[in-house]
């Protein structure tokens, strides 16, 4: 692509044709502040924080959407620019609920940081019209607080442009403008899938997950409760960010140590049940291929994707694997096999999960998720909630030693840990399915064609005299595109992996907040995914069917993959839902 030369603050800068002033400035080592802008998600130039002077222009222009032209001269830090940005922030604050010290985003609020950086003080300079909104607590996973909304529309952008759902948008006009759903329905009444991408997109405290840390602390303090925690693969790739470590830091050992010091009776790893999922799912796949079952088989690990399928592709629910997700498989195994083995009444077990996902909060309340007669999982926390617990307990996270998980449900393979990255479930399943079909040992276990953060990936593998066609999609907009091709006959696959969040669980709705300034210049998904692939390559056991604890649980309890007992405990069912059901 041809480059264009412009001047920014008197310095010559060369940038690709089609770049915006914001992109060109970044090449020059200049960060122009933004608030509403999210690259490829929300590029609407609405907030005016990124304004700059352009020689010859009649007014300040929004750098995030203004294209560069040959010979252009740009000024990013003039008195006029600084005063405009400051005044914009003061006007935003004039209608903003300023309860910063008690706000859940107090230490990660982009508005708060901009005010500090640009010298906006606490004293309100303008007295705007403050509307008072009731909290929307109707959804299982999150709370919406329009009193703190700044109308940046980043939540709207990700819901519509990335996930292709669009259940929220700007309602009314003028000072009455607010973000809401059609007919002012509560979010829980819509076809929201609980993915939480709006939460990670929001720059302030207007959207946040429902917090269950108090309930967990209370359970730990109850001597009659046996409180067990499991942690998902992607949590270890994100948790360190909450304690100042750079994006892309693995903290598995310190995480296990922190959980133990919080007082959990047992600290286990969802990697164990990810391996269990592969055993059941690979068996299901082979059974469908060999016995004329419904194809393509589509993975069932992502509850946001499952709810999306139920709402938007109800005619394809028969394609879904009947396997419970690793979170639910773990809880079901905990309250049946483990409870029986240890002589513990499952009624006394409190099953806690730590997930990178807000949709897990919805999943634990689904029907057919209570194999023991009690909920498989009682409480699902996000990565952010775990970080709050660690901070409240006064643990110096970075000073903790690296510790291992407890046995026997704390052992996972390299195949299990990559579940947290898009393509990971497919790769893990292929490692087991290929060896099962061929009866031969895989010399190379990496299936690199399904790796990477691209929204849709395809591959064909020749296995045991047949071509196995697979596809991987992450982000629900990409899922829609892929499934429409399948339904039209344009594409034909045997096995499909779908993750609700772009990039997979590493980019889940419950992961640590990353400021837009970093996300716009770096691929957070790839940085976190690398952590998981590094854990995989370092693990001496990289195939789920070689996990000794998995072999043991089948020998002692389930019998074999796909057995009647395994189906009763480890498998589930789905429902066909309507889209955006309106109130009567």
- Given this model, what pLDDT does residue 39 score? 94
- Given this model, what pLDDT does residue 494 score? 96
- Given this model, what pLDDT does residue 123 score? 75
Query: How would residue 443 be classed by pLDDT, with cut points 50, 70 and 90?
Result: confident
Give which of 58, 54, 113 is closest to 78, Cα–Cα. Answer: 54
Tokens of 29: 């080592």
The mean pLDDT value for 514-531 works out to 96
Query: How would residue 580 be classed by pLDDT, with cut points 50, 70 and 90?
Result: low
Tokens of 202: 């929001």
Report the predicted TM-score, pTM, of the whole model to 2 decimal places: 0.96
List residues bridging with 180 in a β-sheet: 169
- Given this model, what pLDDT does residue 163 score? 97
pLDDT, mean over the chain: 96
Residue 582 has pLDDT above 50, yes or no: no
Query: Can you give the three-state secondary structure of 434-482, one letter per residue?
Result: HHHHHCCCCCCCCCHHHCCCCCEEEEEEEECCEEEEEEEEECHHHHHHH
Tokens of 319: 């394609």
Query: How would residue 488 be classed by pLDDT, with cut points 50, 70 and 90?
Result: very high
- Of all residues in the chain, what percent are helix, strand and coil, respectively (each to 5)? 40, 15, 45
Give which of 451, 404, 405, 452 is closest to 428, Cα–Cα. Answer: 451
- Given this model, what pLDDT does residue 276 score? 98
Residue 193 has pLDDT above 80, yes or no: yes
The mean pLDDT value for 352-359 works out to 98
The mean pLDDT value for 13-36 works out to 96
> Which H/E stretch holds residue 364?
none
- Given this model, what pLDDT does residue 583 score? 40
DSSP 42: B
Domains, the chain, in order of start with CATH, read: 3-77 (3.10.20.740), 95-206 (3.30.70.20), 213-570 (3.40.50.1780)
pLDDT in tens, 229-267: 999 999 999 999 999 999 999 999 999 999 999 999 999
CA separation for the pair 562, 571 (Å, rounded): 9
Residue 297 has pLDDT above 80, yes or no: yes
The mean pLDDT value for 94-118 works out to 94
DSSP-based three-state secondary structure for 489 = coil
Residue 584 has pLDDT above 70, yes or no: no
Q: Count Cα atoms within 13 angstroms, Cβ side, for 514.
A: 27
Of 57-71, 223-237, 387-401, 570-584, the poorest mean pLDDT is in 570-584
> Which H/E stretch holds residue 89?
helix 79-94
The mean pLDDT value for 121-132 works out to 82
DSSP-based three-state secondary structure for 300 = coil
In the chain, the percentage of residues whose pLDDT exceeds 70 is: 99
């Amino acid at each position: 692509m041809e480059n264009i030369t412009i001047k920014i603050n008197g310095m010559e800068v060369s940038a690709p044709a089609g770049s915006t002033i914001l992109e060109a400035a970044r090449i020059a080592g200049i960060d122009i502040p933004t608030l509403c802008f999210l690259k490829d998600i929300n590029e609407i130039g609405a907030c005016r924080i990124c304004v700059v002077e352009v020689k010859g222009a009649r007014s300040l222009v929004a750098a995030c959407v203004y294209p560069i032209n040959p010979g252009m001269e740009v000024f990013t830090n003039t008195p006029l620019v600084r005063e405009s940005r400051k005044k914009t922030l003061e006007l935003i604050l004039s209608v903003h609920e300023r309860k910063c010290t008690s706000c859940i985003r107090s230490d990660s609020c982009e508005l708060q940081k901009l005010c500090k950086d640009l010298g906006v003080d606490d004293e309100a300079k303008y007295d705007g019209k403050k509307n008072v909104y009731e909290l929307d607590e109707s959804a299982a996973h999150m709370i919406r607080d329009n009193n703190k909304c700044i109308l940046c529309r980043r939540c709207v952008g990700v819901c519509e442009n990335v996930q292709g759902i669009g259940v929220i948008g700007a309602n009314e006009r003028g000072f009455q403008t607010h973000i809401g759903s059609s007919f002012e329905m509560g979010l829980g009444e819509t076809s929201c899938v609980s993915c939480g991408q709006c939460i990670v997109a929001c720059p302030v405290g207007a959207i946040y997950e429902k917090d269950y840390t108090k309930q967990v602390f209370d359970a730990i303090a109850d001597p009659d409760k046996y409180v067990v925690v499991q942690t998902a693969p992607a949590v270890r790739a994100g948790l360190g960010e909450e304690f100042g470590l750079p994006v892309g830091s693995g903290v598995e050992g310190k995480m296990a140590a922190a959980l133990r010091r919080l007082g959990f009776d047992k600290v286990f790893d969802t990697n164990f049940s990810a391996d269990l999922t592969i055993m059941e799912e690979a068996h299901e796949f082979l059974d469908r291929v060999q016995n004329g079952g419904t194809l393509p088989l589509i993975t069932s690990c992502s509850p946001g994707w499952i709810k999306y399928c139920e709402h938007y592709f109800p005619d394809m629910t028969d394609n879904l694997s009947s396997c419970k997700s690793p979170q639910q498989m773990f809880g079901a195994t905990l309250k049946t096999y483990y409870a029986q083995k240890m002589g513990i009444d499952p009624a006394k077990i409190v099953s806690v999960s730590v997930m990178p996902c807000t949709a897990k909060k919805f999943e634990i309340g689904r029907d057919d998720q209570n194999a023991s007669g009690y909920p498989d999982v009682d409480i699902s926390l996000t990565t952010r909630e775990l970080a709050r617990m660690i901070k409240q307990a006064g643990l110096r996270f970075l000073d903790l030693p690296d510790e291992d998980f407890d046995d026997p449900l704390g052992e996972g393979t390299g195949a299990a840990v990559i579940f947290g990255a898009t393509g990971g479930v497919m790769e893990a399943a292929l490692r087991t399915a290929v060896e099962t079909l061929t009866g031969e040992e895989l010399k190379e276990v990496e299936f690199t064609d399904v790796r990477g953060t691209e929204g849709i990936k395809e591959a064909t593998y020749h296995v045991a005299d047949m071509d196995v066609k697979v596809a991987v999609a992450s982000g629900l907009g990409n899922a829609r595109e892929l499934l429409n091709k399948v339904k039209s006959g344009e594409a034909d696959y045997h096995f499909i992996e779908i993750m609700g969040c772009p990039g997979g669980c590493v980019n889940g709705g419950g992961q640590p907040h990353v400021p837009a300034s970093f996300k716009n210049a770096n691929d957070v998904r790839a940085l976190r995914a690398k952590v998981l692939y590094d854990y995989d390559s370092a693990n001496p056991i990289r195939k789920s069917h070689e996990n000794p604890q998995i072999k043991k649980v089948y020998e002692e309890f389930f019998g074999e993959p796909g057995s009647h007992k395994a189906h009763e405990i480890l498998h589930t069912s789905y429902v066909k839902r309507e889209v955006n059901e309106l109130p009567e």
